Structures are given as C-alpha cells and as structure tokens.
Structure 1
Amino acid sequence: MSSIKEKDEHFAQVDVQHSEVLVNQDLMNDALDGENREHQMGVWDAVKKHPWACFWAFTMCFTIVMESFDMFLNGNFVALKAFQREYGVKVGEAWVIPTKWQSALFQSGQCGAFVGVFMAGPITNRWGYRWTTIFALILMNATIFISFFANSLTLLVVGQALEGVPWGFFIANSPAYASEIVPMSLRGACTATLQMSWSIGSIIVAAATYGYNKRDDQWAWRVPLALQWIFPTPLLILIFLAPESPWWLIRRGRKKEALRSIERLGADSTEHAQQSLAMMERTVEIEAQIGGTPTLLDLFKGTDLRRTAITCLMYASQNFAGNLIANQATFFFEQAGISPDRAFQLNLINSCLQFVANAISWFFTAWFGRRTIYLWGTATNITLLIILGICASVTQNTATSYAQAVLGILISFVFAGTLGPISYTIISETSSVRLRALSTAVGRAAYYVAEIPMIYLASQMLNTTGWNLAGKCGYVWGGTACVCWMMAYFFLPELKHRSYRESDILFNRKVPARKFKSTIIDARDNE
C-alpha cells in the first residue's frame, strides 16, 4: 500500500500539458490516419496485430470469474443436502433453507459489490486500472477466509458481503479497461469475454458441487468455498505485469508512458504508435473542452445523462430476462420436479452450454450490430419464458418436468450468447472516455439496485416456503423482459464501427437512437 501511495503522489505531481492536436495540422493528420487505420482493420487482422492486447483484455475480464463463482456457489448451496440439514428447517420430509436466508446469501455479496462499484470509480481515476485491481485482488484473498471458516449462516452472509466489495472493483474496471486497450473491431469480442468468465466460474462451481453433493459433512460446501483461492494470486501477478490503459495515461498527462503502453499492446511500428497516440489525444482533448476533472455529478449533466441512462438500462436489464433462473439453475431444476442428483448433472450441462454460447457470441459481434443482437436475443427469451410458464401451468408429469428443465437451459443459452455479452460491449462503448471509470461503476450499481430485490423475488417464486411457482415464474420474467425490449427499441443506439470521437459527436448532436447507424460523421469533425 505504501508503494501505491508513493506512485499516486508521483502521478499528482505530473505537469499535464494540454494537447495541441486540435490546432497542430501534423498531429491532426496523425490522428486522422490512426482512426482511419482502426476503421479499416478487420477482426482477424486486429487479432494478428494485437495478440497481447487481447491477452491483457481477457486477463482483466477473467477477474469476473470470482463474482460468478460465488454467485453460482450460493445458488448451489441451497440445493446441497448436507448444507440443508446443517442450516435448514424441516418442511414435511425434506430440509430446506428458509427463503429469508436464501435471499440473504444471494443478496449479501451484491450489497458489498454495490459499495465496491462506487469506490472503484474515484479510486480508478486516481490510481489507474492496474493498481486498483491489484488492491481488490489482495482484498479478495483476505475476505475468502471469513466465508471459509464461517460456522453459521449469519457469519457466511457477512463473509459474502465483504467478498462483494472487491467484486465491485472487478466488474467496474474490466469492461472499461478491455474496451480501451484493443482496436475498435475487437471491442465487441473482448468485452464479451466478461460473460465467458461468468460461464467458466459456473462450470467450476457446477463440477465441484456435483462432485461433493453426496457428501454428508461440512466439506460438501467448504471445499467449493476454498476453491476461490485458486484465482486471486495468479491474476494479481498477471495484472502487475500488464500495461496500463493508454487512454487513462493520456488523461493524466503521461504521454510517454501512454506511448509505451500502445507499443506493448501491439503497435507494429513507431509511426503507427504515434498515430494511435494522436487519435487518443484528439478525443481526450475534445472531451476536456466539454468538461474538466470528471466527477460523479458529471454523469447526470447534459448529454452524459443520456449515456448514463443507457448504461444503467443495459446493466439493470440483465436481471429481467430470465438470467436469475440460470443463477439458481440447480434449485430451479429441483423445483421443476427433477431429482437432486440429476439436477446437479443438468446444472453442469447448462454451464458448459453457456460457455459454448459465449464463444458463439464472438461471431455475432463481428456479423451483427449491438442493437440487433440485443433486441433479437431479448425477443427470443420472451418467447421461451412464456412457453416455460405455459408448460408449468398444465398437469405435471415427468415429461413436463424435463420440458421445464430444457426450457430453463435454452433461456440460459440464449442469454449467454446474446443479451449477456453484448450488454458489456454496449456499456463499454456508450460512456465518454473522460467518465468511463465512473460510468461503468454507476451502471453496475444500477445492476445491483435491480438485482437485490429481484433475487428476493426469484427465491420467493421458487421456494416451497414461498410462492412455489416453479416454471410459472416464466410469466413474470417474460413480462419484465418485454419492458426491457421496448426500452431498448426506443433508446438503445448502434455504436458498432464507431470510434470514441464519433460516439461523442453523435451524442452531443442529440441524434435519435435509431439514426445512429445511418448518420455520417466527417473525419475532421471535432464537435
């Protein structure tokens, strides 16, 4: 921590020289060449020229695996027989975790993350993405001890809440960092790896809980908890070796370091690195003329209010299109009438299929626009959710139980291939560069504001001590997904193939969302 403070003091003493890029014709030509080269670069060409940028983006996004791991772990704990007998109450012949404790287990981590995301924005603006993430990884290592040694539901809930604080740092920084270090054509695929990290976490959890679900002692849940220690230390070492975002360095006036970062991220010549630097300086200078030092209040002023609203909508909507069924998949399968052992098997299959869907999403982001993927993915899940509700409303038998399970898997698959990954891409592209760290943090806070009551609602709908709706919850999630689709249709712009400068101009000109794709921006326009 002392080294971080020393580094921060050094940052504060840097004499920030304002860029002359807007008035110097040579620098302007470099900026134009840099932006044109990014526009002309295809996906595969960008991968070949910038493999290290892809690697560092994936490394940062992989920090999300820890939030995913814990989120899915709690969803599986409530279905573990040993955990139910230790902490549950008897309902008929079965032991169940009361609804209030189910909700507390699911919500405590999200409450901690809500605090974390608000801390992340200001700290990242001051320390940078690397040091902020390193600090969060150290904190993650420490807080896992509380959950692992917890001997009551109360202490386990406290442990989850404290673990949630570093989650907030990870989810706020990962999409912003990934979008800033890769070329324009790779922003979609690289930010989509956030959803893949969620799937990797769920696969590990599904495999661990399936392997331990037949144990009758405390190690049925303590071993999966201990597996969390696999991730923080290796990631900490990798993040320490990673380059800082050149956009952040330019905003701090550290142009020489920004140039070195650009070269490390894959610039194939000094000339191209200088052009990329000029392109970034141009955008940063345009935004600096609009507003000074970024603050949270800036997110709710002028055109940035619209951008913040879109970011919050994208994040919050992840909770309303059936994704919470995936988070409690094992318990959902059991409530649909599947045997416990088969429910854990289906959960593992579901997690693996989500990983496949994430890989497919990379191709979707290359072929289709962000708006198109989001609208069609949401429409598909609305249809599947309504069918799920109908299936749960008829006379129940083995066939209807498996039909509900299959529909739950399909809903998760569609989410993991469309809504989930493309939401992160939209979030990272919508905010201005100046406010990105703050915008992604506030957007994620909106996610938690929406998720915390929705977790309670999901537990209440599925639990036998609650409403016991099983697949009928499809009606509820189908209705909320319809609202998300309508909001996106009217307010979600298309930002594929747009540089950050072009995005700034489109928002500043107050172009309607449905005209973003067709509006032409001249290469020399600065406002």
Structure 2
Amino acid sequence: MESRNLETGNIKSKEQVGQHVDTLYPEVLVNQDLFGDAVDGENREHDMNMWAAAKSHPKACIWAFIMCFTIVMESFDMFLNGNFVALPAFQKKYGVKVAGQDGFTIPTRWQSALFQSGQCGAFVGVFLAGPITNRLGYRWTTIMALMLMNATIFISFFADSLAVLTVGQALEGVPWGLFIANSPAYASEVVPLALRGACTATLQMSWSIGGIIVAGATYGYNQRGDQWAWRIPLALQWVFPTPLLVLIFLAPESPWWLIRHGRKEEALRSIERLGEKSGKNSQQTLAMMERTVEIEAQQGGTPTLLDLVKGTDLRRTTIICLMYASQNFAGNLIANQATFFFEQAGISTNKSFQLNLINSCLQFVANACSWPLSAWFGRRTIYLYGTATNAFLLFLLGICASIPKTHATNYAQACLGVIISFVFAGTLGPISYTIIAETSSVRLRALSTGVGRAAYYVAEIPMIYLASKMLNPTGWDLAGKCGYVWGGTACVCWIMAFFFLPELKHRSYRESDILFNRRVPARKFKSTIVDVKDNE
C-alpha cells in the first residue's frame, strides 16, 4: 500500500508511514512559485552584510556560540596536560631526576602518553559522530556526549598514577570527538551566509577560553606542593557539561538536518526560532534549503562513509582533511605546550605560568580580531598570509635559539612563541574551521567533518610525540630550535593551500556544490560566476 505526503507530494511505502525518513523535494525544482522563493531566499542572503545578518539573527549567533563552546572542554584538557608537566608538585610526584638539572621532569614517554591518550579517544569519537548525528541529529548527539563527559571526568580526578590518568584522558577523548565533529557543522547551518565565517571562527575562541581558564587555575595553584595543585584544575572540568547540557536541550535542531530527514514543519519552526520571524522570509529560506537538499539528494541516497571518497566528494574530503591536519604544522603545538616551552627557553617556572596566562588572553583577543578579518578578506587569503607569517616567525625563533644563550635571547624566544600563537589564533586557526564547514556538502557534512577531524588526530598524535621529544631535556632538548622544523612544515602547508584551497566566501551551499561538480580549479573559484537559477 502507498500513502501520499500531502505536504511534499512524495510517495511513501506503508512501512515508511509514521516514520522520519529521508524525503526528497522534487517539486521545489519544478514548481515555479517554490523555485522563485528559493531564488529570492538565496539572493536575500547574498545581499545581507555581517552587521545586518547579526541584527536579524541574534539567536542564531547565540545558539552557534553555545554549540561551539562545547570545544572548551577539549581545549581545557589539552592545555591542562601541557601545564601538568610543568607543575612542580606534579613533577615531584610522577617525575624523575635528570642529570645536570634541578628538580624533576616527567619522562618523555609519559608526557607523550598524556597528550596523545585524549586524542586517541577523540579519534574514536569523530568516527562515531557522523553515523550517530545522521540518525539522532546534532542536539541529541551532543547531549549524549555531555553526559558521557560528566562520567569520564571521575576517572581522571581520582587517578593515583600516570597510567590511570592516561586511561581517564583516553575515555574523556571520546565525547571530545563528538563535540569537535558536530560544532562547526551545526554553527555553519544555523546562521545566514554572511555570518558563517565569524560564527565558525568562535571554535578557536573556545580553545582560547579553555586556555585562559587553565592558565589562571594552574598559575594560582602552581606553588602548592600537594596533590590539589593538579586535582583542583581537573575538578574544574565539571563546571561545563551540565549547564551546556541544559542549554543544548533548549536549542533548535539544524533546519538543514530536519529538511534532509523530511521534517519540514519542524524545520520551518527551527528557522523561525533562529531569527526568521517574517513568514515570507522563513518560507523563502525553507525553499532555498529544500532546493539545495534536493540537488544533493539526486547524487545519492542515505549518506555513508564510502560516499566521502566517491566522485567530486573525494576532492572536498581531501581539502577538509588537509585543512584539519595542517593545524598541527604551523606553530599550534608550541601554543599547546606553551608553559613547558617557556621553561625550556630559560624562563623561570613562575614567570612561565604568567606568560602562559598572558599568551592565552592574547589568543582570545586574536580570535575576536578574526571576526572582522573574515568579513573583509577571503578564506584563502587569510589562510595563506597567516601561514606565511608564522613560517617566517618560526624560522626567526630557530635563529634566536641558535645563537649563544643569554637573558635577552631567552625572552626573545618566549616573545616569539607568544606572537606565533597570536597569529595562529587570529588567522589560520579560526579560518580553518570556516573552510572545513563550508567545503563539505550538506548531505555528507556530519560525516566529512568527523573524518576531517580524524585526519587532524592522525597528524597530531605522532607530532605530539615529536614536539615532546624536541622540547624535553630527556629527549632532544632543542627548545626554540624546533622553530626550524615547524617553519619547514608551515611552508609545505602554504604550498598545498596555494594550489588546492578554493575560495568559498560569499558562496551558498548550492553554489559550492555546482563549482565542485563542474571541477573548477581552486584558483578560479572566486572568479567563476554561477547563475542563481543553475541547479547543476
């Protein structure tokens, strides 16, 4: 038997009636009224500037920021581990004596294990994120991850050995993977075109907020000589999940996800909650989304991981993976281990914690500066200039570390470390998330952002070991000379981006689909004209 969906005109089998299923909207491509609404909706988004979009969609901005704020938990823990290895009490409890050095040092293998375990757990989480999100939606997937986060913090807090702490970090990493896969996708889908750059860039701001909290907490407790020097900062992780869980429960689901699953009425309500109070505007936005979903649906049915490497989606997946992986190769690992880097550059322990707090606050300022930058300049331009600047600064860091060591050269290395972190936090860091969110197709977004983040961890896990080996006195003890290594890898990132990174600023998701399907070369994306009435 068959029944007809009166709203969409699609035929559904008896088994599908009463269930949420992927529903196509072919009428939006043939019905002239609906098609006209879709065209008007897209033109209206193109005509909005950032300020006008922010005034008309303040709630969308708030919900995007709240979802991105889940990243603060991964950031908090990553920076926390970087500070633990520099805490005197933690070093005394778990460290070893090194010949020729005062105090204790955490062995390189355990430093690497602490940094890598969470990322290994997150690697699992990002692969779970796509299938779970496709089935449950962004909201319920994130709520489930927040509940899991609350539970796994107990293991780290009560850990009495480096082995148990490492296991706790690994288990905490699983929800991190769900957060980082879903946040850029959700943020890019709930805001208008003009706000996609600024709102997805708040992911990097969440990293900075986590860094500031950690820097403040560890600076406040670094002179304690007991276990609470690190247990109290660990307990601060419980501050985030429960309030965020309540807020995400109240958040609207992405209208793009709802449309793709045939829940048109819910999508319309979500669009209205996000800021489209005018009935006419909300209907136009809905028709615009339906049009894009239908164009993509004609290329395939229910998305699978295998779709990521088929046809033109392989190119999009490759760009996303390279963008994510490149975050590890242009100075970011120096920022993640800033306190320890400052100590190895010859700065005292207390001064190193002070510098780390200053560094984290400056990263927050840089993140705020990235918002107008994303409105004024293209994604490709910001990424190329940011990477080139950091490559130059990293080589300069290596030169400073190569000349005879003095008080001045120590502070020069520390200042360069701060500047490198600032440039990363204001340019290639936040703009990478924008590029990642905009490059994927709507149909495969939940999967592609997850797989892209997996590429980040594949690159980061060995790089963390390498970074620890380069900085640690029990390793290669290179200190600032690691700038030569990261400067070289930053140059490789710049070359790859110059040839393969397309410019997607001011492009709707429909236009992006068409440009990729037409196999337009990356350097011609900006100049290629796509007619508003084109469907392929």
Interval containing the TM-score (normalised by the shorter chain): over 0.9
C-alpha separation in 1, matches of 2:336 and 2:22: 46
In structure 2, the residue corresponding to 1:504 is in which secondary structure?
A: helix
Amino acid in structure 2 at the alignment position of 1:45: A
C-alpha separation in 1, matches of 2:312 and 2:332: 31
TM-score, normalised to structure 1's length?
0.98
In structure 2, the residue corresponding to 1:190 is in which secondary structure?
A: helix
Amino acid in structure 1 at the alignment position of 2:432: S
Amino acid in structure 2 at the alignment position of 1:150: A
Instruction: Kindly state the Cα deviation for residue 99 of structure 1 after the two structures are TM-superposed.
Output: 0.1
- Residue 85 (1) aligns with residue 92 (2): yes
Does the CA-based 8 Å contact 1:116-1:165 persist in structure 2? yes
In the other structure, the counterpart of 1:148 is 157
Amino acid in structure 2 at the alignment position of 1:218: Q
- Residue 338 (1) aligns with residue 344 (2): no
Amino acid in structure 2 at the alignment position of 1:38: E
**Given the alignment, which residue of 418, 422, 437 partners 1:413?**
422
Q: Deviations over 1:438-469 (max 9, x none)?
A: 00000000000000000000000000000000
Amino acid in structure 2 at the alignment position of 1:332: F
C-alpha separation in 2, matches of 1:106 and 1:244: 33
Amino acid in structure 2 at the alignment position of 1:169: L
Between 267-276 and 497-506, the greater mean CA deviation after superposition: 267-276
**Given the alignment, which residue of 38, 56, 62 partners 1:55?**
62
Q: Deviations over 1:475-504 (max 9, x none)?
A: 000000000000000000000000000000
- Residue 249 (1) aligns with residue 261 (2): no
C-alpha separation in 1, matches of 2:21 and 2:435: 34
- Compared with structure 1, are the counterparts of its residues 12 and 75 closer, same or farther at alpha carbon in structure 2 (3 Å cutoff)? farther
C-alpha separation in 1, matches of 2:73 and 2:521: 38
Instruction: Kindly state the Cα deviation for residue 292 of structure 1 after the two structures are TM-superposed.
Output: 1.1
Superposed, 1:213-228 pairs within 5 Å as 213-228=222-237
Instruction: Kindly state the Cα deviation for residue 122 of structure 1 after the two structures are TM-superposed.
Output: 0.2
Superposed, 1:237-386 pairs within 5 Å as 237-386=246-395
Q: Deviations over 1:319-376 (max 9, x none)?
A: 0001000000000000000000000000000000000000000010000000000000
Unaligned runs of 5+ in 2: 1-14
In structure 2, the residue corresponding to 1:302 is in which secondary structure?
A: coil
C-alpha separation in 2, matches of 1:316 and 1:337: 30
Instruction: Kindly state the Cα deviation for residue 155 of structure 1 after the two structures are TM-superposed.
Output: 0.1
**Given the alignment, which residue of 417, 435, 443 partners 1:426?**
435
Does the CA-based 8 Å contact 2:296-2:443 persist in structure 1? yes
In the other structure, the counterpart of 1:4 is none
C-alpha separation in 2, matches of 1:141 and 1:446: 26
In the other structure, the counterpart of 1:125 is 134
Amino acid in structure 2 at the alignment position of 1:36: N
C-alpha separation in 2, matches of 1:475 and 1:57: 38
- Compared with structure 1, are the counterparts of its residues 218 and 356 closer, same or farther at alpha carbon in structure 2 (3 Å cutoff)? same
In the other structure, the counterpart of 1:494 is 503
- Compared with structure 1, are the counterparts of its residues 313 and 17 closer, same or farther at alpha carbon in structure 2 (3 Å cutoff)? closer
Does the CA-based 8 Å contact 1:129-1:244 persist in structure 2? yes
- Compared with structure 1, are the counterparts of its residues 137 and 403 closer, same or farther at alpha carbon in structure 2 (3 Å cutoff)? same
In structure 2, the residue corresponding to 1:102 is in which secondary structure?
A: helix
Instruction: Kindly state the Cα deviation for residue 17 of structure 1 after the two structures are TM-superposed.
Output: 4.4
C-alpha separation in 2, matches of 1:451 and 1:137: 24
What's the C-alpha RMSD, in Å, of the aligned pairs?
1.1
In the other structure, the counterpart of 2:7 is none
Q: Deviations over 1:392-423 (max 9, x none)?
A: 00000100000000000000000000010000
Does the CA-based 8 Å contact 1:11-1:252 persist in structure 2? no
- Compared with structure 1, are the counterparts of its residues 11 and 257 closer, same or farther at alpha carbon in structure 2 (3 Å cutoff)? farther
Does the CA-based 8 Å contact 1:386-1:475 persist in structure 2? yes
**Given the alignment, which residue of 71, 75, 92 partners 1:64?**
71
C-alpha separation in 1, matches of 2:504 and 2:270: 25
Q: Aligned pairs, how many?
A: 519
- Compared with structure 1, are the counterparts of its residues 149 and 12 closer, same or farther at alpha carbon in structure 2 (3 Å cutoff)? farther
Amino acid in structure 2 at the alignment position of 1:54: C
Amino acid in structure 2 at the alignment position of 1:204: I
Q: Deviations over 1:188-221 (max 9, x none)?
A: 0000000000000000000000000000000000
Does the CA-based 8 Å contact 1:179-1:191 persist in structure 2? yes
Amino acid in structure 2 at the alignment position of 1:243: P
C-alpha separation in 2, matches of 1:17 and 1:467: 58
Amino acid in structure 2 at the alignment position of 1:14: H
Amino acid in structure 2 at the alignment position of 1:48: K
The runs of at least 4 aligned residues of structure 1 exceeding 3 Å deviation read 9-12
In the other structure, the counterpart of 2:39 is 32
In the other structure, the counterpart of 1:404 is 413
Instruction: Kindly state the Cα deviation for residue 13 of structure 1 after the two structures are TM-superposed.
Output: 1.2
Instruction: Kindly state the Cα deviation for residue 12 of structure 1 after the two structures are TM-superposed.
Output: 8.1
Instruction: Kindly state the Cα deviation for residue 18 of structure 1 after the two structures are TM-superposed.
Output: 2.5
C-alpha separation in 1, matches of 2:131 and 2:389: 38
Amino acid in structure 1 at the alignment position of 2:57: H
Instruction: Kindly state the Cα deviation for residue 268 of structure 1 after the two structures are TM-superposed.
Output: 2.9
In the other structure, the counterpart of 2:4 is none
C-alpha separation in 2, matches of 1:462 and 1:261: 49
In the other structure, the counterpart of 1:75 is 82
Instruction: Kindly state the Cα deviation for residue 11 of structure 1 after the two structures are TM-superposed.
Output: 11
Does the CA-based 8 Å contact 2:23-2:260 persist in structure 1? no
Instruction: Kindly state the Cα deviation for residue 15 of structure 1 after the two structures are TM-superposed.
Output: 5.6
C-alpha separation in 2, matches of 1:270 and 1:515: 38
Does the CA-based 8 Å contact 2:22-2:302 persist in structure 1? no
C-alpha separation in 2, matches of 1:49 and 1:121: 31
In structure 1, the residue corresponding to 2:159 is in which secondary structure?
A: coil
In structure 2, the residue corresponding to 1:86 is in which secondary structure?
A: helix
Instruction: Kindly state the Cα deviation for residue 14 of structure 1 after the two structures are TM-superposed.
Output: 2.6
**Given the alignment, which residue of 226, 229, 237 partners 2:238?**
229
Does the CA-based 8 Å contact 2:24-2:297 persist in structure 1? no
TM-score, normalised to structure 2's length?
0.96
In the other structure, the counterpart of 1:516 is 525
- Residue 108 (1) aligns with residue 123 (2): no
Instruction: Kindly state the Cα deviation for residue 10 of structure 1 after the two structures are TM-superposed.
Output: 10
